[in-house]
């Protein structure tokens, strides 16, 4: 398999704090790689490092086969576009003027392809409207348009749906899918909206305390997120005793809720539960969510 990006025991220290802790990850060519981690887990630090905005404390990475320690890494980065934290746009300029400015910054000889980029991100009809009058979703798409100047084939997006309304999230999702499928652009995307990420990603890297705890494909994740029966009962302690005796795998969620990972013979189970004074209130078949799987990997707490 060809990889656009590979990191090797990459670390970044700020005094005693380790933002990245021997992080090793692999982004396949053509993938939409979902980068998932809690607040402060090191996602933005990694993206800034790959962009050359920060240097690692130890370890290295390879971009298009070029090591970060080689001079040629600068050429490899020219094949990359990025939106880090918030889009870097000039609010008093139109979308077209913003793109022209980026053409000039990159030293490109002409504005060839500018109109195509605006059309690709859905901003071709904004005319003389200045970016300060754009919606948040339009600004995010303008940020991606600027990142597309120079025809990159690897795009790094840091929380691209952050703060967007439902319509803006849908538009951003469709744009990322279009860039990946029609333009063959590999995308590395960090997001705290895990269910939304599951509609995009082909591969995942789960990050905790600056370290990748699991890498997997979307197909592997789908297998891991097993089907279960969500049960609401009067007493989960009694339910646990019964399920232990029946050697059925389960997960207690609260005093009255549990997920049971097996095909259940409803009449048999309810009959046994009646004998221990445990009433079944509801039963519902469901899939384990990406969010639930992630929390089971790294534990509870705030994520982003």
4, pLDDT greater than 80: yes
pLDDT reported for residue 205: 94
- What burial class does residue 243 get, using C-beta atoms within 10 Å of its C-beta: 0-12 exposed, 13-18 middle, 19+ buried? buried
pLDDT reported for residue 156: 96
**74, two tokens:** 């600068």
CA quadruple 71, 98, 95, 143: dihedral sign: positive
pLDDT reported for residue 300: 58
Question: Which of 243, 155, 206, 164 lies closest to 34, judged by CA?
Answer: 206
pLDDT reported for residue 302: 47
Q: Mean per-residue pLDDT for 255-263?
A: 90
Domains along the chain with CATH numbers? 3-223 (3.40.50.300), 226-287 (3.30.70.100)
DSSP three-state, residue 280: strand
**283, two tokens:** 């039963």
Q: Which residue has the tokens 């690692």?
A: 56
pLDDT reported for residue 304: 42
Q: How far apart are CA 274 and CA 279, in angstroms?
A: 6
Q: How far apart are CA 1 and CA 28, in angstroms?
A: 7
226, pLDDT greater than 90: no
Count of positions (residues) in the chain: 304
Tell me the HSE value of 165 on the side-chain side, using a 13 A CA sphere. 5
11, pLDDT greater than 90: yes
303, pLDDT greater than 70: no
301, pLDDT greater than 60: no
Q: How far apart are CA 245 and CA 105, in angstroms?
A: 69
What are 76-91's pLDDT values in tens digits? 999 999 998 888 899 9
What are 99-115's pLDDT values in tens digits? 999 999 999 999 999 99
pLDDT reported for residue 289: 72
Q: Mean per-residue pLDDT for 138-160?
A: 95
Residue 162's pLDDT band, with cuts at 50, 70 and 90, is confident
Task: Please report, rounded to a whole number, the percentage of residues in the chain having pLDDT higher than 90.
Answer: 71
Cβ atoms 214, 23 nearer than 8 A = no
Task: Tell me how crowded residue 191 is: count the other CB atoms within 10 A of its CB.
Answer: 23
pLDDT reported for residue 130: 97
The pTM of the full predicted model, rounded to 2 decimals, is 0.80
Residue 287's pLDDT band, with cuts at 50, 70 and 90, is confident
Identify each DSSP E strand in 44-128 by its residue range.
58-63, 66-67, 80-83
Q: How far apart are CA 42 and CA 20, in angstroms?
A: 6
Contacts of residue 177, defined as CB under 8 A and 6 or more positions apart, other chains included, come to: 32, 200
């Amino acid at each position: 398999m060809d990889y656009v990006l590979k990191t090797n025991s990459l670390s970044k220290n700020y005094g005693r704090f380790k933002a990245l802790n021997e992080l090793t990850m692999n982004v396949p060519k053509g993938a939409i790689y979902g980068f998932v981690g809690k607040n402060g887990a090191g996602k933005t630090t990694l993206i800034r490092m790959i962009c050359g905005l920060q240097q690692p404390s130890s370890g290295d990475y390879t971009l298009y086969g070029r090591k970060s320690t080689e001079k040629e890494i600068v050429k490899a980065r020219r094949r990359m576009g990025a939106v880090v934290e918030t889009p870097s746009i000039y609010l008093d300029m139109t979308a077209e003027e913003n793109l022209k400015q980026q053409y000039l910054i990159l030293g490109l000889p002409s504005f060839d392809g500018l109109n195509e980029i605006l059309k690709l991100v859905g901003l071709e009809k904004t005319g003389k409207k200045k970016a300060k009058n754009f919606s948040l979703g339009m600004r995010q798409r303008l940020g991606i348009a600027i990142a597309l100047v120079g025809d990159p084939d690897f795009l790094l997006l840091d929380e691209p749906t952050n703060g967007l309304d439902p319509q803006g999230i849908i538009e951003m999702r469709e744009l990322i899918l279009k860039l990946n499928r029609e333009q063959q652009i590999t995308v590395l995307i960090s997001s705290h909206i895990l269910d939304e990420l599951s509609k995009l990603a082909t591969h995942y890297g789960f990050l905790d305390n600056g370290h990748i705890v699991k890498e997997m494909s979307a197909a592997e994740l789908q297998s891991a997120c097993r089907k279960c029966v969500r049960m609401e009962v009067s007493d989960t302690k009694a339910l646990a005793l019964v399920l232990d005796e029946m050697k059925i795998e389960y997960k207690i969620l609260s005093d009255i809720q549990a997920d049971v990972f097996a095909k259940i013979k409803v009449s048999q189970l309810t009959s046994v539960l009646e004998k221990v004074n445990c009433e079944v209130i509801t039963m519902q078949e469901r899939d384990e969510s990406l969010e639930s799987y992630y929390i089971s990997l790294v534990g509870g707490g705030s994520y982003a």
